[in-house]
Structure 1
Amino acid sequence: MSGYKSSIAFGVIGLGRFGFALAETLSDNRKEVIVLDNNESKVKQIQDKVQQAFVIDQLDKPTLEEAGIQNCGTVIVCIGEHIEASILTTLNVIELGVPRVIAKAISAEHGRVLQKIGAEVVYPERDHAVRLANSLTTPRALDFINLSNQYAISEIKLTDKLHGKAILELNFRNKFGLNIIAIVRRNKTIVEISPDLQLNTNDLIAVVGTKDSIVKFERYLIS
């Protein structure tokens, strides 16, 4: 096994239902992904979609390091059912210096242990995996709700790039391909969106549109 030596965005350890869906959705969002699992059949199913896919029998630190997991910016440990393996693997990934480690938990007690060793914790089913992947790939989105394979609703925090500009002046719908359905400003929710309403830095706007349009708008805000 020869690990991925350059930096890569995401690592997924464990290809159960959650892990497979997560890796697949990250890949569909054009993110670089490395996956590790002990099931050769599952690795073969996903290997054409991700940058690197390894069949590994051990989850000890040398094996993880050889696979290159330490080169990932974020690693998600998806071994929920085997609690001891989940905890030890999460600890090994953290000790390898990965900046962000997220771990799947199947109980509150399991989650508390994972949090104590420094991991973020999720309690997912498959739909939560898709939601997590979308939130990871749209970093300014505070909430993301799938409506279909193509459309979603997202709540986004505005930067100063749009401060003081009216919705009509921006030609928002035509320029970004999104519809604003609500604005939260200083804990007040505005649902009657007039064309002359000016946007402010740190406004939270709820938008509906295609997932591609949401991603493009996110990139525009931070460019």
Structure 2
Amino acid sequence: MARFLHSLRRRRPKRLGAPVGDHGDQRVAVIGLGRFGSSLAHELTRRGWDVLGIDTSTSLVQKHSDALTHSAVADCTDPEVLNQLGVNEFTSAVVGIGNDVEASILVTSNLLEAGVPNIWAKAISRQHGQILKRLGAHHVILPEHDMGERVAHLVTGRMLDFIQFDDDYALVKTVAPDIVTGMPLGQSAVRSKYGVTVVGIKRPGEDFTYATAETVVKHGDVIVVTGKTHAVEAFAELS
């Protein structure tokens, strides 16, 4: 069994594994405190989650331990380590291990065997992601691929922002094309003509608001549209 090199640290007087507040279980174990895992762990902690950060690197754990609720230096490829840390009692876990594919697969498998109901696992390639999906990981994340694809859309198109979801569905922020300006959205027939739905609108100096069929889009407005990826791409090119 792997030897623990760093004892659990507590930032708040809560029992490790205890639910937080009255808003459901807000506990999460983040395994792997590299750039992705540490950024995720810090943001979850900032949002009030009870975060247990784990890594095999003593220096990484020491670097982030003061900011996290709990931290430990441990090798989670050993299932007994997960049991001793109480990760099997958590409802959510994130495997942030990237370059060591074998360790990523073993840790994900151990979490599944422990019955953790919500497992997010980082993959460094599509092949790695396919293996994690076949193992049974509930959510597979490809941060480098997803970010590269997103930036490519921003660089090559007229989009101000681009987010793609499953089933070839996307959300795009773009400047309103002239074809939808000067009339209520209901009259412009954006959905029937272009296969997209305008869900939000922002005018210079104002906050975003929901769009309705009565909303009149003006020249220079920024709009948020949703629809099939190819449809929102084509619509953004009209700007």
TM range (shorter): 0.5 to 0.7
Q: Which one of 78, 103, 106 corresponds to residue 121 of structure 2? A: 103
Bigger Rg, which one: 2
Across the two proteins, how many residue pairs are aligned to each other?
146
Kindly indicate whether the alpha-carbon contact (under 8 Å) linking 2:76 and 2:107 is maintained by their aligned counterparts in 1: no
Distance apart, 1:182 and its partner CA: 3.4
Distance, in Å, in 2 between the alignment partners of 1:49 and 1:55 is: 15
Q: After superposition, where does 1:202-221 map in structure 2 within 5 Å?
A: none
Tell me the secondary structure at the aligned position of residue 92 of structure 1: helix
Structure 1's 59 and 189: CA in aligned 2 closer, same or farther, altered over 3 A?
A: farther
**2:63 corresponds to 1:45:** yes
CA distance in structure 2 between the partners assigned to 1:189 and 1:34 by the alignment: 49
Contact 1:33 1:52 in 2 (8 A): yes
TM-score of the aligned structures, taking structure 2 as reference length: 0.53
Query: Does 1:181 pair with 2:200?
Result: no
Displacement of 1:87: 0.7
Q: Would you say 1:124 and 2:143 are equivalent positions?
A: yes
Q: Is 1:86 matched up with 2:114?
A: no
Select which of 33, 36, 49 maps to 2:54: 36
TM-fit CA distance, 1:191: 6.7
Query: Do 1:182 and 1:191's aligned partners in 2 also have CA atoms closer than 8 Å?
Result: no
Closer, same or farther: CA 189–42 of 1 in aligned 2, 3 Å: farther
Describe the SS at the equivalent of 1:53: strand
C-alpha change, 1:191 and 1:29, in structure 2 (3 Å) is: farther
Show structure 1 runs of 5+ residues with no match: 129-141, 146-177, 193-205, 207-223
Closer, same or farther in 2 for the Cα pair 1:27/1:5, shift >3 Å?
Answer: closer
In 2, the alpha carbon distance for the partners of 1:77 and 1:87 equals 9
- Deviations 1:84-118, CA, capped at 9 Å, x for gaps: 11011001011111110000001111101101111
In structure 2, the partner of 1:71 is 89
User: Does the CA contact (< 8 Å) of 1:12 and 1:33 recur in 2?
Assistant: yes
Q: CA deviation at 1:54?
A: 0.4
| Alpha-carbon offset, residue 190 of structure 1 | 5.4
Tell me: CA distance 1:182–1:67, structure 2 relative to 1, closer, same or farther (3 Å): same
Please tell me whether the aligned partners of residues 12 and 77 of structure 1 are also in contact (alpha carbons under 8 angstroms). Answer: yes
User: Secondary structure at 1:19's aligned position in 2?
Assistant: helix
**How far did 1:180 drift?**
3.6
Alpha carbons of structure 1 residues 28 and 112: separation in structure 2 relative to 1, 3 Å: same
CA–CA separation in structure 2 for the residues paired with 1:64 and 1:75: 11
- Encode CA deviations 1:127-148: one digit per residue, 9 max, x unaligned: 97xxxxxxxxxxxxx98x9xxx
TM-score (norm 1): 0.56
Deviation of 1:59 (Å): 2.3
Deviations 1:155-180 (A, max 9, x none): xxxxxxxxxxxxxxxxxxxxxxx944
User: Percent identity over the alignment?
Assistant: 35
